Structure 1
Amino acid sequence: MSKSYYAYILSNSSRMLYTGMTNDLQHRVYQHKQKLIDGFTKKYNLHKLVYYAETDDVGYAIQREEEIKGWSRKKKKQLIDSMNPKWNDLAKDWYS
């Protein structure tokens, strides 16, 4: 069984953006939602998973995270709009 890696984007009600990378998306989003990680996401309540890309190549996941981080806000919004036009929380039902 191959391991999965994820580049992801979190947002909040003001549509601020945070881009990250992890090998356990469900656990990492839970940490963000519960504010268990000090820093930007905790300070600005970035808890909505609005985009993620999955791969079995850790190098590609790191590259994708860095690529997205380098983009303009407009380009990041276009990426989210293309896959999740209503900016729904893709992890909304993960922790019931």
Structure 2
Amino acid sequence: MDLIRKAVDARISSLGLDWLKLESLHIRSKDKTISADVLLEGEAESIHIEATYEVIGSRISVLTVDSSRKWVAEAARLGLAKAGGSFELPSGISGILVRLFL
């Protein structure tokens, strides 16, 4: 799990999202759920995010998203709709490792 956390932190950094800090990340492959707590710059408290997903071939599809803040859930849903709701998993060794946790 630590490897995925580091990969997510690296991706956040590479996108220039220095105003977002991932505080926790939990993947429950049995339930196909991901939960995370993030701290946004300017916010006093962490925001909890829950999502359900499925993996089909080399893609991960996000099925549902909910959050402790309604606006975050709505923004995530809009972003997912714009992106088509699914994403290509990495190839090579990193993709194999990600699939082990999903």
| Bigger strand fraction | 2
User: TM-score, with normalisation over the residues of structure 2?
Assistant: 0.28
Structure having the higher Rg: 2
Relative contact order, higher structure (CA 8 A, sep 6+): 1
TM-score (norm 1): 0.29
